[in-house]
Amino acid sequence: KAGVTQTPRYLIKTRGQQVTLSCSPISGHRSVSWYQQTPGQGLQFLFEYFSETQRNKGNFPGRFSGRQFSNSRSEMNVSTLELGDSALYLCASSLTSGSTGELFFGEGSRLTVL
């Protein structure tokens, strides 16, 4: 059974650009969550999608957005990149919404903003 797949694994952008990250959940999982991981702030919740609907949202500015497709694949977009957006972005999938069950994480997309 394939795990959670995130692409790209590494990317470098400059300030002001935008970026789109992709996440393919485990087959059959309908919930996808996104987290930002930085050395200073740790793991911070961005948002969760379930059946193409955003169910929960963290405390991030509107430059951070996401969506989920009918096949449960998800994308997140960051516009007008800032240096502080440099981080590891982790996607996690689960069978149900609300994280009462186990989250299965991908290996992450490491974004560097120059």
Partner 1 sequence: AQSVTQLGSHVSVSEGALVLLRCNYSSSVPPYLFWYVQYPNQGLQLLLKYTTGATLVKGINGFEAEFKKSETSFHLTKPSAHMSDAAEYFCALNQAGTALIFGKGTTLSVSS
What does the binding site for partner 1 look like in residue numbers (CB under 8 A)?
Answer: 4, 33, 35, 42-43, 45, 48, 56, 58, 90, 92, 97-100, 102-108
Please count the other Cβ atoms lying within 10 Å of the Cβ belonging to residue 28: 9
- Is residue 99 a contact partner of residue 34, using CB atoms and an 8 Å limit? no
Helix (H, G, I), strand (E, B) or coil at 83: helix
Spatial CA neighbour of 3 closest among 74, 107, 102: 107
Residue (48 or 85) nearer to partner 1, CB: 48
Residue (79 or 99) nearer to partner 1, CB: 99
Q: How far is the CB of 51 from partner 1 (least distance, A)?
A: 15
Q: How far is the CB of 15 from partner 1 (least distance, A)?
A: 26
